[in-house]
Amino acid sequence: MPIHYDMPLWRPPSEANSFILQATLGCSFNHCSFCSMYRTKHFAVRPLEPVRAEIQTVARAYPDVRRVFLADGDALAAPTEHLLAILDMLHASLPRLERVSSYALPANLLKKSVEELAELREGGLTLLYYGIETGSADLLRRITKGATPEAMVTGLTKARRAELRISATVILGLGGQEHWQEHIDATADLVNRVELDYLSTLQLMLDPTIRDEFHRKFREPFREQDDRALLAEQLRLIERLNPPAPLVFRSNHASNALALAGILPRDRPALLSRLQLALAGGLRLRPEWLRGY
């Protein structure tokens, strides 16, 4: 039986070679004004039987699968027992499986107890992709994120106590020209309060279908940052990041004008040097036609 995905289908860039398994469809929140990923879908937890059939199909065709990503945008909204059943199926059918990952909304980590999160980790879910976007309480309200900085710190701390690995993202340009310093400084402050494994930056790119909504919810004229201003945001962020543990930092997502990679705080001088060179015109930026989500 071939797998027929419920489109659109999204995954993190690092899951390009993973088996994508739709444990849920859509996003249970689906109100973030900057995100159009699941606007055409209604949220649902998929029944176990079609999920089991897809796992068995993939196991027969690709028995050496090592990585699985649980889609869509909100797999952790499913009941813990449901997710544990899926994890059991995966590990029983794919003997070389090394990693299972999923997106995590702030509400997911608040609703599940540390014990539930630890159960999921013991069941084989090891990595969560988490959108911080910004550490500014005001901007979080403006973009309808459905979370506060304190709530995110609480949820991320719970995930760390459960020994889950976290790959977080922030969005450069989210404060526009008026609020960029507040955006960057508050984001650095939030990141410095939690222990993450990975941190990546994306650049704000608004799908035409939600652009008007984003501007309306922002409650004042929103003036987008140009590439030079976004590089300055990146530089200010890296200057202010002092994570409690070594942090793998990346800006290699296709939305970024400049790809960066390093470990903070160790590689801070090299990252800042590269950014300063780019600001001086000494590095070629990714052409706009090659950028996207």
Supply the pLDDT for residue 130: 98
Supply the pLDDT for residue 1: 54
- The phi, psi pair for 105, rounded to 5°, reads -85, 155
Supply the pLDDT for residue 2: 67
Residue 277 Cα distances to 7, 226, 229, 235, 268, angstroms: 41, 17, 14, 11, 14
Contact 6, 55 (CB under 8 A): no
- What residues of the chain score a pLDDT lower than 70? 1-2
CB atoms inside a 10 Å sphere around CB 182: 16
Supply the pLDDT for residue 255: 84
Supply the pLDDT for residue 239: 98
Q: Give exposure, 16-53, as e/b (b: 16+ Cβ within 10 Å).
A: eebbbbbbbbbbbbbebbbbbbbbebebebbeeeebee
Supply the pLDDT for residue 253: 81
Q: Which residue has the tokens 């004229």?
A: 221
